[in-house]
Amino acid sequence: MRPAGGAWLPLRPASTGRTGIEYYSMRPIDPIVALERGTNADPFAVLGPHQTTVNGEPALVVRFFHPDAEAVDLQAAEAGAPVPMTRRSGTDLFEAVVPGWLGDPLTFDYRLRVTWKDGRVGDVDDAYRFGCILSDFDLHLLGEGTQLRAYEKLGAHQMQFGPIAGVHFAVWAPNARRVSVVGDFNRWDGRAHPMRLLSPHGVWEIFIPGIGRGEKYKFELRSRSGEAFTKADPYAMYFELPPRSASVVWGVGQYAWDDQAWMAARVQENGWLDRPMSIYEVHLGSWARGADGERFLSFRELADRLVPYVRDLGFTHIELLPVMEHPFAGSWGYQVVGFFAPTSRMGEPDEFKAFVDACHRAGIGVLLDWVPGHFPKDAHGLARFDGTALYEHEDPRKGEHQEWGTLIFNYGRNEVRSFLLSSALFWLEQYHVDGLRVDAVASMLYLDYSRGPGQWVPNKHGGRENLEAVDFLRTLNTLTHSEQPGSITAAEESTSWPGVSRPVHLGGLGFTFKWNMGWMHDILSYMRQNAIYRRWAHNQLTFSMLYAYHENFILPFSHDEVVHGKGSMIGKMAGDSWQKAANLRALYGFLYGHPGKKLLFMGCEFGQWPEWNHDRGLEWAFIDDAPHRGIRQLVTDLNRLYRHEPALYELDFDPAGFQWIDCNDNENSVISFMRRARDPRDVLVIVLNFTPVVRHSYVVGVPEPGLYLEAINTDSECYGGSNQGNGGAVHSQPIPAHGHPHRVELVLPPLSCLILKRGRVAHLTHTAA
């Protein structure tokens, strides 16, 4: 059988038109059949302008195919009226020959006037008159995995060739037999716009004139086995509203940013290790809903409502559960199909940029949950993209998350690495986000994650470590930190893998931060226990300081802790309703006093009773009740104190910033410690009482004499407490205690946290009488 782009032979001359162009019929060997069947793998060898000979003389043949065309006229740029092209009998192929043409066929300027089968008539530019757009160098970088902005080359991009505007489409599908672009513009018929294969790189491309921003499209692929199916564009920057799944031509846009001061400061300050960082974690679809309780708030509405709310609470950052396009809302965004597209559920891409812009103008950083660990099996997504395991592994022992029903990226494949690294840079550069929280890192690091014996394949050394994933993560962190100075990466990693947040050149993975899952689990386990039993679980309060400086930790009370039957934060606390609120206030005091950056999920700031439900907004009615209003006020005051007291953040990751006063009073369930700033004289004393008993004359050693002021007392009546305390301040006594030359004798309120500072506190918050 001849190849799909096989030979063409002139048969007979047609009549000569007034333009002087002679038209000839051309006899196909077999390409027409392939075009009609949608199996022609090399349409550019058949369609468009091609050099030929007629009666031994040079000529140009122009061919056009479209299943909806009834008649076609060729209009040469330098000729007069359009002249009919010849239609091959029983086909939708039209052809004409221009005699005497000698030169590059791509320089022949013409248009086509098409009469469509539904009666419409219109002029079109031929998609097959344009040459290759991607260069050999572009393709080399893509194949090498070093094209770090692959979204600039692949996907859909508006372009203009002289006066001709259109869209360039490109997709990586090396194992497909044929790839076409389909959309409203061609009635979703894969025979209309088959693409050119750029061999051996496996990239297909085409420039389609006459379409632009807002066009819906997909790629129709035909597998080696002959099966035809459609896929969304992996590099699409916008999608139609789910459950529909078409990609939308969009581009990065021309949004006029107004956050230049923030972005400049981000580069200059280069990191948050020694700066206050308290993160408000948000699922945008359920923070609040429209008046009917069903409608999602738009990005612009969230900019108007969420941003000032977070600013007034005093958080430094917002962390968003994945905003990338995802088909299943119940995944909370973690089953991504659009790694370059904000979800259309809440508006257009520029509206999400406006949200980030509003955050920055309000002095709030933006972190995104980013999911390079797995992707869903949805038919229009990445799964078996070209009929083979392209983005994933073929072997399910390496390529499938059995627990989640999702697929695992093949990090050893250069084009996959380029795809993921480009996605990371895309959000940092194009959307100005300040960092990425990388989801499910543990599942990436271990080949036997959630697998039993015989269900996983060891690495080349016989070990359980995913060496390709380790290399990918190191490359990711090196790249983002170098390309976007001041941006951060945070790992959700729950194992003892060493050096997660250590630099790559020191053998680490290179993350800026790691979530401290151990501290979170220990302290929540402790807080669930009745106070009379806490004396036997005292180590759950103190154990974290044995490893606190192994990593740069974030202390997370995240969405995962308030869902799936785990209960809300206030619901986890022991005791009656008053004690639950008091316990939660004390816990938040411990959160802000403990070394490490802070993270609190939405709704936890006011102690919402129900678990989080992604299908509805938060229970905002609770904030009108005194206990919940008090909890929110405490979080606001803790954030204010945190941002103003260097002792609470400057040495988060240096042992010099923390010192136990007494970690051994398990009988009373009391702990006390100091936090220090770089200036060793700048000290805070923090004392926590985890029983409902008021403790009078409780002795705490202090390093310096003077008046110690209550900067925070979580039992203050303004927080909903019993208003026990020290009248706002207490004088030290020159009597040694706990290895220090001075002491203070305190009234420890029930289930409380006291934060004391020697001398004047300009930003003194609410204290007890």
Catalytic residue annotation: 439, 492
Contact 299, 347 (CB under 8 A): yes
Candidates 483, 363, 373, 386; CA nearest to 437 is: 373
DSSP H or E stretch at residue 57: strand 57-65
The distance of Cα 141 from the centroid of its chain, to the nearest Å, equals: 24
Euclidean distance between CA atoms 633 and 719, whole angstroms: 6
Euclidean distance between CA atoms 407 and 391, whole angstroms: 9
Quick one: tokens of 441? 């890192």
Euclidean distance between CA atoms 601 and 319, whole angstroms: 9
DSSP H or E stretch at residue 600: strand 597-601
Candidates 721, 674, 676; CA nearest to 700 is: 674
Euclidean distance between CA atoms 33 and 40, whole angstroms: 8
The distance of Cα 468 from the centroid of its chain, to the nearest Å, equals: 21
**Ramachandran bin of 271, using left for φ above 0, alpha for ψ from -120 to 50, beta for the remaining angles:** left
Phi, psi of 248 (to 5 degrees): -130, 130
Handedness of CA 302, 483, 435, 677 (dihedral sign): negative
Residue type (1 letter), 396: P
Q: Quick check: helix, strand or coil at residue 216? A: strand
Give 687's strand partners. Answer: 672, 754
Cα–Cα distances in angstroms (integers) from residue 346 to residues 289, 301, 335, 448, 670, in the given order:
11, 9, 17, 38, 47
Euclidean distance between CA atoms 421 and 414, whole angstroms: 10
Residue type (1 letter), 377: K
Contact 219, 178 (CB under 8 A): no
Q: Quick check: helix, strand or coil at residue 555? A: strand
Q: Quick check: helix, strand or coil at residue 559? A: helix
Strands 670-676 and 683-689: antiparallel
Tokens 């088909």 locate to: 327
Length of the chain: 769
Quick one: tokens of 25? 């019929």
* Axis-axis angle for helices 349-361, 260-269 (nearest 10): 70
Tokens 């529909």 locate to: 244
| Structure-derived torsion over alpha carbons of residues 271, 277, 281, 287, reported in degrees to the nearest 10 | -120
- Burial class, 644, CB count within 10 angstroms (exposed 0-12 / middle 13-18 / buried 19+): middle
